[in-house]
């Protein structure tokens, strides 16, 4: 698979979900939850790969969780 087709394959679900996004608010909340899940998994992966001090890892993972709750609170406050 070429790099161009991988690029389109990664963008196609977003393009197909845009009309549903404007129609149904539940899908919007569903997408927001997946964005936060994706963010958390990505940051935890980076921390686990590049940090080797266990105390630093634990501190940053707890900080990521707290920040996710704060971001989610602000997003829900904005939407509701």
Q: Which domain holds residue 58?
A: 20-79
Instruction: Say what the pTM is.
Output: 0.62
Residue 18: name the closest of 5, 31, 4, 33 by CA: 31
Residue 3 domain flag: no
Confidence at residue 33, expressed as pLDDT on a 0 to 100 scale: 77
Q: Would you say residue 38 lies in a domain?
A: yes
Is 54 a domain residue?
A: yes
pLDDT of residue 2: 63
Structure tokens at 76: 């829900």
Q: Is residue 2 domain-resident?
A: no
So what's the pLDDT on residue 56? 93
- pLDDT given for residue 73 in this prediction: 86
Q: What is the mean pLDDT of each run of 10 residues along the chain (80 residues)?
A: 64 71 73 80 87 93 91 80
**50: which 2 tokens?**
């590049």
Residues contacting residue 57 through CB under 8 Å, at least 6 positions apart = 47, 48, 51
In a domain, 75, yes or no: yes
Q: Is residue 25 part of a domain?
A: yes
């Amino acid at each position: 698979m070429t790099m161009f087709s991988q690029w389109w394959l990664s963008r196609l679900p977003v393009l197909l979900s845009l009309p549903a996004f404007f129609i149904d608010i539940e899908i919007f909340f569903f997408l927001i939850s997946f964005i936060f899940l994706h963010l958390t998994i990505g940051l935890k992966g980076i921390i686990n790969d590049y940090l080797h001090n266990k105390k630093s890892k634990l501190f940053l993972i707890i900080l990521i969780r707290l920040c996710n709750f704060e971001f989610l609170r602000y997003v829900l406050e904005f939407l509701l």
